Chain A
């Protein structure tokens, strides 16, 4: 068992209303497993993913990742977990505009101290970015940018890849290509994969499917 969440609660306080987003989420993900997280828009999928990825903290409950206590540690500890154990792919790519493709791809691996030129080049080739290494994000299409982001998340060989609607901004054809690339690379790295999507077609490509509704996993 790689990832375990126990009884996660999270609510947002807006002006005078309180929005209870997560109300006791339990889940486990095994090493190497691929899992889809689905649910209606606004059901709290992103919130959950951010907590699992040590980007955010729950109001109560616990998360352990690879035997480490994610929720009990401080800002520095969570930064360390993000850096070395997880890779994150966002819907908006979030590339650094002032770095070229290669430097963006290497960024997390270098932060983690695991920069491996051979693996970086392999990733570039596998992601179909050969010849684009010196370009800047603004010169790339959306699909290409997302592939750089995927490369960036996998370059440090994380134990867990988290993706929040990674194909949400892409057309159907590009989406399928990006999706199969991700699955193949996750397999190669030996990472587990947890992906938020609201497309059933995408969800069906993964090993298991979790449904978030009314603040719990159904």
Chain B
């Protein structure tokens, strides 16, 4: 065994470039997969933690898209009689480890139960100086570092979690005057929503359900990780295949010298496992770095889209590390199964036949075409008969893989067609030589197609979404200034003041209700051209606003229509005492909840207690500041009573861009892997190329000319692959917009095309192709004539 393993290893020792490409291909593929897993797991752990941390009645939470909020919001809530509890959260690095601090007002909510250690009298909590609560293990660490007077062991707390009173937390985290969130009793939700309009309210059922809400987001990430891994496997498959091919002579010699086929197969498997484990470990470390870099973006996205709070520092966890190692090993074995089988059934005397490789490659192409047809079938079936998010992804995967599998066939057709154009012997040789190289390059080109198509698809989806989103914001936020008095009594006076200036005031009132078990926010709006002209309605009965204001119907958002299965004209029960029809469906991007709009009269009948405190004001943009100043002085209002349309738009677009930053990062990484795949293939092919190039060199082509042909070939194949990737990418975008998004978020988006993005991608691909060809080309240019001659000397 040892001897054979040594012989096998000597190959890698003598071919370091091949070794590095194999290891880096596998490592990068594992890294992306692991990174995504790590992010998902970190998020999941955060959700669990959030659900476990506090016992007692489930609380609703007010969070801010900005991360923190001023103490004044809390004061306003208390003044209005809401039993709110202020919370500060954060991390503290204390040398050896980070701890998570959760600080809240111990007088409003007792500290976590610590049996027998704290009296019922809360005063004891403050008598002996600072006191914190932590799990026994964390408590030991804290005591060892001695930074706090008293630590009370609380088994229920998580590791590295420290709970303390808000006064101490404020000091330790240096968050004077700011809060991370505010907990409120769920029955005060409506009141809180009216008082804290700038904040996001997450209901307790929503919070415990956050894992379900975010599932589609995580599935999205997983799909991306898997795509990247698949692209990486193309590299592994290519390098291992070539390494086996190059060592056929060695295998034959080993067999002739007395190695049984079983033993050879065992040794090769051991070799592969070692490589996979080594590369897997590197991949896990890289994955950790990638995840740590991406996590803040993901945390922001999850916070913005779902109000889920996820820590932004990453912990190393064995679950995703093991999953990374597992997929590295499984992927390597899968990628090399064919080569391994061929070796173990290889008779010791089967002569090395260069023609055989081509023949097998041709058989591969045929096999690939059959595979493509089967996948096409899967795609059609999943489109027509599948439902749910998983099927959306199955459809995507089938389409992408089918396209990748037909690509080599298409490229061969192109190369053959070019070969038939008669442009002299050199070009004849060039096309014939390209054809011969196709079998070695096809895997890398398939990987490139996948990466380009994914890039185009996701890019088109995001850009379409962005364009639609911006247009929608313009429609939705038609009023130039929004005023919120927070104090019920003040509403009427403020309204009168503004109307006295001759401006249009549009009151906005809202209440929560449950429609068909879906928690739904019900708005009441005035009858005004602002809505009639601008509201982003997707489908509706004729004259929907007339239906709404006659009290016979309501408009609902797209998410709600999809979730309950409602269309214009269907019956709708919004609250006891109101029955009507769906007058229309409007788009409401970024909102996970249901929403309905009634006429203001109908709303007042249904929810008589809701005061008018919020108004939209139609005013020329250059007069916004003036009006705001006058209102501030007249009614003693401050800045957070106003929302400027321009500010909210800029903020929303910022949120949007951050949300998709993760997709963009993964996209770029996937493209990088594909470029690496091309480099790998070209490098490995270059070691085979001497026998093919030597005769042409002997016939009078210079090495410089030969090198130029190498680059040209790389460019031609890349450009053609790009051309093939455009329709695939657009197909992918269509599926994302019309199938996956509808399932995941509940909204359908119109597709828009962005040819300038394609051009940029094409340039990127061409640069990558040239970069990948440069290394092998330089090697070719440096090949000594003596090495060319050797080819003839050794020729049998």
Identify the A interface with B (CB < 8 A): 50, 55-56, 75-76, 78-84, 88, 90, 92, 94-99, 103, 107-108, 110-112, 136, 138, 152
Contacts and interface: CB of A to CB of B under 8 A. Distances in A.
Given A94-B253, A111-B4, A79 B260 contact: yes
B789 to A, nearest CB: 13
A97 B3 contact: no
Given A56-B349, A94-B252, 12 more contacts: A56-B347, A81-B258, A92-B796, A94-B253, A96-B7, A96-B253, A97-B250, A98-B14, A103-B6, A107-B3, A111-B3, A138-B790
Interface of B: 3-4, 6-7, 10-11, 13-15, 249-250, 252-263, 347-349, 790, 796
Contacts of B348: 55-56
Contacts of A84: 258
A107 B10 contact: no
A98 B258 contact: no
A144 to B, nearest CB: 14
26 contacts: A55-B349, A76-B260, A76-B262, A78-B260, A79-B255, A79-B260, A82-B257, A82-B258, A88-B256, A90-B256, A94-B252, A96-B7, A96-B250, A97-B249, A98-B11, A98-B15, A99-B10, A103-B10, A107-B3, A107-B7, A107-B257, A108-B257, A108-B258, A111-B4, A111-B257, A111-B259
B13 to A, nearest CB: 7
Contacts of B249: 94, 97
Contacts of A96: 7, 10, 250, 253-254
A42 to B, nearest CB: 15
Contacts of A136: 14
Contacts of A55: 256, 348-349
A136 B10 CA distance: 11
Those 5 A-B pairs whose CB atoms lie nearest each other, nearest first: A83-B258, A79-B260, A82-B258, A98-B10, A98-B14
Contacts of B11: 98
A99 B250 CA distance: 10
B309 to A, nearest CB: 55
Contacts of B253: 94-96
Contacts of B790: 138
A80 B258 contact: yes
Contacts of A80: 258, 260
B143 to A, nearest CB: 59
A49 to B, nearest CB: 11
Contact of B250 (A83, A98, A152): A98
A37 B348 CA distance: 22
A90 B261 CA distance: 20
A75 B260 contact: yes
Nearest to A76: B260
A50 B14 contact: no
A99 B9 CA distance: 10
Nearest to B348: A55
Contacts of A83: 257-259
Q: Which of A98, A99, A107, A108 has the most CB of B within 10 A?
A: A98
A97 B11 CA distance: 8
A206 to B, nearest CB: 23
B140 to A, nearest CB: 54
A55 B256 CA distance: 6
Contact of A99 (B7, B349, B796): B7
A50 B310 CA distance: 69
A58 to B, nearest CB: 13
A92 B249 CA distance: 11
Contacts of A108: 257-258
B349 A50 contact: yes
A83 to B, nearest CB: 2
Given A94-B249, A96-B250, A97-B250, A111 B349 contact: no
A98 B256 CA distance: 17
Q: Which of B13, B14, B796 has the most CB of A within 10 A?
A: B14
B3 A110 contact: yes
A84 B257 CA distance: 9
A94 B351 CA distance: 11
A82 B256 contact: yes
Contacts of A107: 3, 7, 257
Contact of B259 (A79, A81, A138): A79
B654 to A, nearest CB: 56
A83 B348 CA distance: 13
B257 A75 contact: no
Nearest to A46: B349
Nearest to A56: B349
A75 B346 CA distance: 12
B258 A94 contact: no
Contacts of B261: 75, 79
Contacts of B347: 56
B792 to A, nearest CB: 13
A208 B83 CA distance: 111
Given A94-B249, A94-B253, A98-B13, A79 B7 contact: no
Contacts of B250: 96-98
A170 to B, nearest CB: 13
A21 to B, nearest CB: 13
B439 to A, nearest CB: 23
A55 B261 CA distance: 12
Contacts of A56: 347-349
Q: Which of A55, A81, A95 has the most CB of B within 10 A?
A: A55
A47 B420 CA distance: 43
Nearest to A93: B253
A74 to B, nearest CB: 9
Nearest to B796: A92
Nearest to B352: A92
Contacts of B7: 96, 98-99, 107
Contacts of B3: 107, 110-111
A208 to B, nearest CB: 25
A96 B11 CA distance: 9
A95 B7 CA distance: 11
Contact of A94 (B15, B256, B259): B256
Nearest to A85: B258
A50 B203 CA distance: 81
Nearest to B250: A96
A90 B13 CA distance: 26
B345 to A, nearest CB: 11
Nearest to B3: A110
Contacts of B13: 98
Q: Which of B3, B14, B249 has the most CB of A within 10 A?
A: B3
Nearest to A100: B10
A56 to B, nearest CB: 6
A79 B349 contact: no
A107 B261 CA distance: 17
Contacts of B10: 96, 98-99, 103
